[in-house]
Amino acid sequence: MTASNKMRHATLGLLGWLAVTVAGAAEPPSQPLYPGDIPGAILAPDEEKLRDAAEPWPFYLDISRPTITAYRPAKQDPKRAAVVILPGGGYRGVSILKEGYDVARAFNEMGVTAFVVKYRTPSDKHMKDKRVGPLQDAQQAVATVRRDAAKWQIDPTRIGLMGFSAGGHLAASTGTLFNTPVLPQWKSADVRPDFLMLIYPVITFTDASVHWGSRQKLLGDTPSRADMERFSTELAVSDQTPPTFLVHAADDATVPVANSIRFFEALQARKIPAQLMIYPAGGHGYGLNNATTGDRWMERCRQWLQSQGWIS
């Protein structure tokens, strides 16, 4: 090999190493969601894994050690709002990049601080009560972000919660069941989000519009009528439910659009400010990019946040 070829190979090797290093540093470090013991946990091996390493969008399964990852904007909006993000995954796992990290970066572009939660997936293997394990994680995330508002330089009265698909069900549950926190260390004011953003959310567990997979994972194969009604979030809407932005596609064959419509109607009945966007097409699980349209729902979300006074 000539000297010039050696130099070229060395340069390419350095560039490759730098590329790997930069890619590895692309996401901020995740932190454990709980500073100590995980509530309601059963001592069990950590079985978290990628569904398929070849998939372009990482999807993590069997999560028993919840984490939170903070994304801070380069230039913060003067109103100092923050958003906690719950990716979807049918309560089987979480689509951590498409419905988590990428979304957090989109909020950073608005000047909004964002936190991505990798919440526990319901399982009798590592939870004493799998019905409330994910809700514990969501409430813990909202409450700790609010408690640490000074650290993050955010306004503790401007903390929103966004959820996708089953993460939307978890967000809607957090926004409707806050009066009875499932963690004893928090009060209802600690865990209540100030606004909600639900993207193709699972809402109902009681009728033909149910997403069977999400209900089965959370409540089991033969749920009681009481549990189905308790976790049908349209039935839990009250005068204190936060203002809500919803997005769905009319042709969603996985989670029928009726889920978002039911929640919107429940909000309307209580005169709670709400905006519902229904695209003619797009299916399910498109993250930030509904490929059937040039419209970008995240831009509509930004406009809604501005119109409601959450961001400037």
**Model confidence at 208, in pLDDT bands (50, 70, 90)?**
confident
- Residue 29 burial class via C-beta count within 10 angstroms: exposed 0-12, middle 13-18, buried 19 and up: exposed
List, for residues 10-53, the tens digit of each pLDDT value: 444 433 333 333 333 468 999 999 999 999 999 999 999 999 99
Burial 42-58 (b: 16+ CB within 10 A, else e): eeeeeebeebeeeeeeb
Q: Where are the domains of the chain?
A: 31-307
List, for residues 108-146, the tens digit of each pLDDT value: 999 999 999 999 999 999 999 999 999 999 999 999 999
**Whole-number CA gyration radius for the chain:** 20
List, for residues 232-252, the tens digit of each pLDDT value: 999 999 999 999 999 999 999
What span, in angstroms and rounded, lies between the C-alpha atoms of 145 and 190?
9
Grouping H, G, I as helix, E, B as strand and the rest as coil, residue 93 is: strand
End-to-end CA distance of the chain: 60
Grouping H, G, I as helix, E, B as strand and the rest as coil, residue 143 is: helix
pLDDT given for residue 18 in this prediction: 36
pLDDT given for residue 194 in this prediction: 98
Residue 239 carries which side chain, given as an amino acid letter?
A: D
pLDDT given for residue 78 in this prediction: 97
List, for residues 152-178, the tens digit of each pLDDT value: 999 999 999 999 999 999 999 999 999
290 contacts 282 by C-beta, under 8 angstroms: yes
- Residue 5 burial class via C-beta count within 10 angstroms: exposed 0-12, middle 13-18, buried 19 and up: exposed
CATH superfamily of this structure's domain 31-307? Alpha/Beta hydrolase fold, catalytic domain (3.40.50.1820)
